[in-house]
Each structure stands twice: as structure tokens, then as C-alpha cells.
Structure 1
Amino acid sequence: MTSSLCINKGSKHKTVQVLGKAVENLSGYQPLKHMNISQYIATNVLSLKEFVKPSTKMQHGKSTLRAISSAMVLLQRYEFKTNHEDWFNTTKPRIGIDISSQVLAAVNSTQDDIKSLYKMRLELRSALNKLLKDDGILIIPTVTEFPFKRDSRKKITPDIEDHLHALLSIAGMSGCCQITVPLGKHESYPISISYIAAHGADKFLLDTVLDMYSSLQEQITIASNLVPTPDTNGDMDASELLKEKAEADCSQALLLDKKNVKAYLRRGTAREMLLCYKEALEDFKHALVLEPQNKDAVDAEKRLRKLMA
């Protein structure tokens, strides 16, 4: 069985370690492969461009997820209105305030681009089926940011709702099957991961999660009893920020000079440390185009190809 892994930061180090160890202890499983799922979707779902809102402040990956989420909500409203509008207007059911606002938004909605919504659903499903095939699992965080702390009374704003829908919409829009598994807590925040399999592979997904669950729980227990190993600067979160800053600085340098080999090498190294292997490999390949005999780039490319194999 093959697994692709896409985990957000925050508890990333421990989560990746726990999953990797859990898979290592099982027979018949290939090592985890890291990927940028937003980039994969943006490349393979061409109709998604119609729903991407231009924004200079939003990262490309986030804009892709936001577009899928927006399309999913529009399609859900259309289907709810088509199937339940008469019942809602006739019965006038008593429902909670939060739900009623969503129901009214659906009943009062008008959609002119239904065909493009269904087209995007089919393209997304096809892209994920191509990626996962019959024996692949995509493992992602359940939400893009930390969820609310337990018993939190924080109000769910539209912006928070967008964050909640972002990753859930991958399976929700494509019709692929998804299972969410709790991992415990990170600094009082509940942490979970979601397993996604191809459309129609429900039994395979259930069997896989059941197969992995004991090993996963064992590794969670081991990890929770370990004293965290700090990075060289003594602070994991600060280290992550430094890597991201190095990546951003190099990107800025490359805007000024697209032949800056050192910038490609530095950015590639930062991306590799952030587990963005595909993007790191592209940077090292760019460096080799500019300097074919560059030993650092040659070694880095070989190393990454082994990691991604």
C-alpha cells in the first residue's frame, strides 16, 4: 500500500514521526511519500481556475483550497435547494440559528454556473483517483490551522468556517472517502489526521485504518512519553519560522536575479527541511541547469530522488 503525506506545521514534526514509525512496523506498506496536495490539485484540475479569487495576500496553496471549499459550498446549496426547498417552505422546521442561516442561504441561492461546478467535481475526482489508484492513501491534517481548544466558546466566524472547510472539501467535493482519526493533543489543542482514499474505495480505507490503528496508538503513546528534542536553536517553532524566512528571502532574491544559483540552492535546502521535497527538487534542478557541475546541487538532487522514490 502506498501513502502520500501532507501535514501542516505546528505539530508537524511529531505527527510525521508518529505516522512514519507506525507504517514502518506494518508489513506490506511502502514508506510515506511527502507531497504538496494543493499544487497537485492546481496542476490537474484546470476548471478550478474559474473559482480562484485573485489575492496578493493569499498563498497559492491556500487559494487552491479556498477555491475548492467555495465550489463545494455552492454545489451543496444548489443540491439542497433542488431536493429540499419545497419541504422546507411547506414544513417550516424549527432549527438552530447557525444551521438556519446556512439553510436560508441555500434556499435563497441562485446558481448560474452549475455545469462548471459539476465539471470541477469530476476533474477533482479523476485527479485524486489517478493519484491514489486502488492502493493509495492520502493523509492530511483535518483542518489547516489549530482547531479550538476543548470546551472553547469561541464563535465560529465565516473566516474560521473557511479554515474548517478547506481540507474537508478535498473529499467533500470529489466524493472520495475520508476517515478522521484523533491523535491526542498538542499544547491543549486537539490534533487529528484524515485518511482519504479514491472514490468508491470505502472498504479499502476502513480496512487500512483498522490495520494501522493499533500501531498508530502505540507510537502516539511512545511519542507522548518522550521529552521533545529541540532544534539547534532550542525552539522548534522558531526553527520552522527561520526556514520559512530563508525560503521567502531566496524567492525575493530570485525575483531580482533568476540566475542566482546560490539562491536556488538555499531555497531548495530550506524547502527540503520543511519537507516540501517536490519543490526542493525543482530548485536543485534549476541550479543544475545554470551550473551543471555544481556538486551541492548534484548531491541534493540524488538525495531527494531517493527520498521521493
Structure 2
Amino acid sequence: MSSMAKVCVLVGLGIAGLIIVSRQWEKKKRQKKRKEDFGAFIERLELLPPPQPAPPVARHILTDLTFALQDIFDVEGYVTGFGNPDWLRTHDPAAKTAGSVSLVVAHGATCVGKTVMDELAYSITGENRHYGTPTNPAIASRIPGGSASGSAVAVAAKLVDFALGIDTDGSVRIPAAFCGILGFRPSHGSVSTFGVVPMAQSFDTVGWFARDANVLRRVGHVLLQLPMVDLRRPRRILIADDCFELSSTPKEKIVDVVVRSIQDLPGRQVVNHVNLGQYITSKVPSLKIFRNEESRNGEGKSALKDLSNAFELLQRYEFKMNHEEWVSTVKPHLGYEISVRVRAALESTEEKIQSCLKARNEMREALCNLLKDDGILVIPTVPILPPNLRSKKRQLEEFYSRAFSVLSISGMSGCCQVSIPLGMHEGCPLAVSLMARHGADRFLLDTILDLHPSLQKQAEIASNTQPSISDDCQIDAAENYKEKGNAAYKGKQFHKAVNFYSEAIKLNDTNATYYSNRAAACLELGRFQQAEEDCSKAIEIDRKNVKAYLRRGTAREMLSYIKDAIEDFKFALVLEPTNKTASTALERLKKFVL
């Protein structure tokens, strides 16, 4: 090799080395920035409020507050990204700032940036393959919830005082619940959506997040353009028992806290329990078009599932009307989950749409008649704890199915709803939702301000309270819960069974049968990851628990862990050589590994 060639090689290696070092430095820089802001922001910008008015005129109501906004709101001079780089690339900078953004700035708030969101606002997980998933400050291993994930994370991480987001199918309520903050969805149509990229107009609302109930109310009064008047307390509190039966969190852990908090309020409030599904069945006849279809999990549909189906169908159709041309022309790069949902939307038809619209109108009237001017409906915000990051397809399907069963209540009725944090459960944030009739936003904001301190106090008491009963009594109580769980399981009330077994485990976490039985109920509900974890715990306690091996094998098979499933069934046969379930499963699974 000539001297010149050697020099060229050395120069080339040097340049390559500089490029590698530069890339590594940029990567570390991005990681450091992401760690500092929890990955919440996609773009930093500044919108400053006008000067304060001269005395004696009062200062702007939002003075000294900072906020962020989901990258679905237009800001003059900036391209609205809609969570996808192909959308960003194919659109021009906005000519005007969204009306809701201008309103809060005019009242004294300072905008500091745009936040990460789910692609095309068509998800509720908060994960984004292009810009990264914002880190949930409450529990980093779980999803933050979406689509307004970055806005929720920015508030939860105390990077801003409040944030704006669009709630179409739960996109403010879910991340608020999963990140442990307040999230408000106003009555449909009560806040202008001018300057917001439409997702599905029948449901799109401008919502907001805050950590403080007073800030939440102040922002609400600005966006809703309401006068500040004396607080008005609710007279009737309605607990939707059937909605809490869908929840993986023990009903008592939420309902008892809410009831005790209400009792702390001055005045007299009446607490009633309702079966919301039965009420909807009698008042929303248009949902009968779904009544004869089979549900996803093989069980008969409840009215809540019918409502959820109407909600999803109408949402898909409106998304198609808004964005079919762009999707078909640009053919954007989308994450797997989003692409599946977008494809389903593009394949939707007008069939049943008129019935869905009619059901929406009937639902609004039904809820207004139920709640009137003095009623508050109590439901779980999301009937499931935050799923793990990068959950498998089957787990996400369960998450969507169960979540929409309660999220569609305010979606289809247009009612206002707030998600309120209630401490922690199994290491995850816990939340409850309060709903008021359509148009009663000020009443709901007043109720939150009034009730929030008591809710936090009672939630803390519930978390810190330890059972003061003897060991023998505790074991007896655990056995009682187990028997209740067995009865619920036999009656195919699997959600109830899970709750009863969970209570038994709380009282006695060294009994393998409780974990194994809960796993059986979880298998029926399609919660395969939870079933696997419960069986592993049962086996850790009792290495000879055959049922735990069989159930873990089934869970692993459904999760596509075929080799692990085979090992479980083999061990079950070692313990019980004549076990037909294990031998049949082995014969079936061996075909997959040949």
C-alpha cells in the first residue's frame, strides 16, 4: 500500500471515529434531555401572556401559571405534528393559534412547549414509536396512557402547572388516572375546538390536566368562560355498582373512600347505588342493534359493551371521513397498533351509523334525566391498572375492551367528567371519576374543589390502615373471601371472583391456592400475564401445586411462550402421571416445536 493510500485510510478512520463519537454524544445528549423532561416534550416554544392590567383591575386569573399543550393544537407559525412525522412533513405551519390556547394565554398563562402524543390521536396507551414514550412519573415500568401522554407526564412531573389535551375516547382521563393527577373532560361542545386537528367530532373535547384542584377550576372557568360564583354542593351521589364490578381493583377500596369523603362534607348528601347498564338498556333502545352479536370474550354483551361498540363504530367512521384521503395519499409509517386501528377505520361503512347517532342522543337525554341538576355519578376512570410498557397484543386488546366499557359513558352522552387520583394500589396510581350531566361543568368543577381534600385524606387513611384482627381471625376472613371467590367463579362472575381472591391474598399472602384460584379467574377474563404471575407465586409457595402448573402452562401457551408452557405441562405430569389435561396439552403443543 502506498504512503498516500495509508494516509487516506487513516484520515477515513479518523473521520469515521469522529462521526461515531459525535453520534454517541448526540445520543447521550438526547437521553439526558429525555431524563430531565421525562420525554414529555416534542418541541419547546414560548407564548407569553399580555401585560397585567393596571390597578384597581384584578390580575389575570391564570397569572404565573405555566402550561404545555398536546401536539394536536395549532400554534401560529408552527406545524402541528399530530404525533406523526409524515403528518408534520406534509402540512404547513398554522396560520392562527387554537382558540383554547389563545384564551388561556390571554388570561395570564405562559405556554412552554408542545408535548408528545399517540400517532394521529388514535390510541390510549401513550406509546409513540417515532418520538418515544413519555415516562410515567408515578410508575416508570407502566404506560402513561394516551393520547395526551406528554401533557399528563409534564403535569405529573411538575414541569408545568397545567396542560391541555384532547379527550375523544379517554385521551385526557386515562393518562390522568395512570399518572396520578386530575384530568377534566368538559361537556361536549362547551369548549371551542377551533385550531385542533379533528379526530372524531362527535366526541372531540378540549380537556386539561392539573395537580391542584384550584388550578383545575381556574383553568376550567377560563376555557368554559364561566363567572366565579359561590360553590354549589351535590345533593345526590350515585354509585354505578356494575361499572365497579368490571374493575380489577376491589370496589370497596374506591367506593368506601368516596362515601366517607362525602360524609365529611357539610350538608346532607344522599348516596344511592345504581345498575347503570340496566338503566341504559331501558332508556337507550337504539343500542338493540348490537344485542344479538357475540362479544369479544365469548360472553353475552351487557349494555355497557353495546354502548362501547356504538362508540367505537362512530369514532372509526368519523376518523375515516376526516383523514382517509391523507392516509391513502401519503401512506404514512405507523406503529403496529395504530396501523391496525387506522385500517379498521378505513374499512368501516355507513351501516349502523344513523343508529349510533340516535343512541348518542338517547344516551345524553338518559344521563341528564338520571343526574338532573344536583346529581353526581361515580364510576372507575379505567377498570384496569396501567398495563406494562410494550404489552403484547392480547393484553392491549383486553385493555381497550375493558377501558371503553366505561370511557364510552361520557363519550356517548357528552357529559362532563373528571378523573381524581386516590392514592396507590399494587404500586400503581388509583383513580375514580365523577360525572355530571351535559352542561353542568361549573357544578362539577365546584364539586371537585369541595371534595378533593377529603378524598385525598380518606385515600391516605385507607392506604395506611392495617387490619387490627388476630392471625386466626385474619386466616378465617381470608378463607371466607376464598369461598366467595369460588362461588362467584362457579356463577361465571369472573371479575367478582378476582376481587374476592385478591382480598383473600391481602389477608394471607402465603396461601398458594388463593393465587392459583385467582389465576383461573384471570384466564377466563383473558388476563394471561396476570395469570402467569399468580401461578408463579403459587408455585414459589407450593412446588407441588399441580393446578398452578396447569394454569401457568395455559397462560404461557396463550402468550405464545410455547417451550415454557411445555415444561409446565411436563412437570404437572411428573406430579400426576395420569393427568389428562397435561397430556392433551403436550400433544397439542409438540406440533408447534417439531
Using the size of structure 1 for normalisation, the TM-score is 0.70
Give the whole-Å Cα distance in 2 for the aligned partners of 1:122 and 1:246.
Answer: 38
- Count of residues paired in the alignment: 246
Aligned residue for 2:386, secondary structure, equals coil
CA-CA distance at 1:243 after TM superposition: 6.9
1:142 corresponding residue in structure 2:
381
Instruction: Determine if contact 1:231/1:239 at 8 Å carries over to the other structure.
Output: no
1:116 corresponding residue in structure 2:
355
CA-CA distance at 1:58 after TM superposition: 6.5
1:285 corresponding residue in structure 2:
none
Give the whole-Å Cα distance in 2 for the aligned partners of 1:156 and 1:177.
Answer: 31
Instruction: Determine if contact 1:11/1:186 at 8 Å carries over to the other structure.
Output: no
Which 4+ stretches in 1 moved above 6 angstroms?
56-60, 229-232, 245-248
Q: Deviations over 1:37-92 (max 9, x none)?
A: 111111211111111245598776x5211111111010001111222223333454
1:280 corresponding residue in structure 2:
none
124-133 or 220-229, larger mean C-alpha shift:
220-229
| Alignment of 1:155 onto 2:380 | no
1:127 corresponding residue in structure 2:
366
Distance 1:49 1:210, change over 3 A: same
CA-CA distance at 1:164 after TM superposition: 1.5
| Alignment of 1:234 onto 2:234 | no
Distance 1:182 1:4, change over 3 A: same
Give the whole-Å Cα distance in 2 for the aligned partners of 1:67 and 1:121.
Answer: 12
Give the whole-Å Cα distance in 2 for the aligned partners of 1:200 and 1:156.
Answer: 38
| Alignment of 1:4 onto 2:238 | yes
| Alignment of 1:37 onto 2:276 | yes
Aligned residue for 1:3, secondary structure, equals strand
Aligned residue for 2:477, secondary structure, equals coil
1:98 corresponding residue in structure 2:
337
Instruction: Determine if contact 1:23/1:31 at 8 Å carries over to the other structure.
Output: no
85-94 or 40-49, larger mean C-alpha shift:
85-94
* Greater relative contact order (CA < 8 Å, ≥ 6 in sequence): 1
Please point out which of 407, 410, 414 is paired with 1:171. 410
Please point out which of 460, 478, 482 is paired with 1:221. 460
Gaps of 5+ in 1: 249-309
Please point out which of 296, 310, 313 is paired with 1:74. 313
Give the whole-Å Cα distance in 2 for the aligned partners of 1:66 and 1:22.
Answer: 30
CA-CA distance at 1:99 after TM superposition: 2.0
Aligned-pair identity (%): 43
Gaps of 5+ in 2: 1-233, 493-594
Give the whole-Å Cα distance in 2 for the aligned partners of 1:3 and 1:247.
Answer: 30
Please point out which of 303, 321, 331 is paired with 1:64. 303
CA-CA distance at 1:205 after TM superposition: 1.6
Aligned residue type for 2:282: T
Aligned residue type for 2:302: S
Aligned residue for 1:104, secondary structure, equals helix
2:146 corresponding residue in structure 1:
none
More helix by share: 1
Instruction: Determine if contact 2:423/2:460 at 8 Å carries over to the other structure.
Output: no
Aligned residue for 2:302, secondary structure, equals helix
Aligned residue type for 1:109: S
1:292 corresponding residue in structure 2:
none
Indicate the RMSD between aligned Cα atoms, in angstroms. Answer: 2.9
Instruction: Determine if contact 2:237/2:375 at 8 Å carries over to the other structure.
Output: yes
Distance 1:123 1:115, change over 3 A: same
Distance 1:25 1:43, change over 3 A: same
Aligned residue type for 1:87: W
Instruction: Determine if contact 1:75/1:117 at 8 Å carries over to the other structure.
Output: yes
Alignment of 1:236-251 (within 5 A): 237-238=481-482, 240-241=484-485, 244=488
Aligned residue type for 1:5: I
CA-CA distance at 1:105 after TM superposition: 1.7
Instruction: Determine if contact 1:53/1:63 at 8 Å carries over to the other structure.
Output: no
Give the whole-Å Cα distance in 2 for the aligned partners of 1:119 and 1:186.
Answer: 39
Aligned residue type for 1:126: E
211-220 or 87-96, larger mean C-alpha shift:
87-96
1:89 corresponding residue in structure 2:
328
Give the whole-Å Cα distance in 2 for the aligned partners of 1:44 and 1:58.
Answer: 25
Aligned residue for 1:32, secondary structure, equals strand
Instruction: Determine if contact 2:423/2:463 at 8 Å carries over to the other structure.
Output: no
CA-CA distance at 1:234 after TM superposition: 1.3
CA-CA distance at 1:198 after TM superposition: 1.0
| Alignment of 1:46 onto 2:290 | no
Aligned residue type for 2:385: P
Aligned residue for 1:193, secondary structure, equals strand
Give the whole-Å Cα distance in 1 for the aligned partners of 2:327 and 2:459.
Answer: 46
Aligned residue for 1:22, secondary structure, equals helix
Q: Deviations over 1:12-34 (max 9, x none)?
A: 12322211111011124513211
Aligned residue type for 2:477: G
Distance 1:33 1:233, change over 3 A: farther
Distance 1:89 1:185, change over 3 A: same
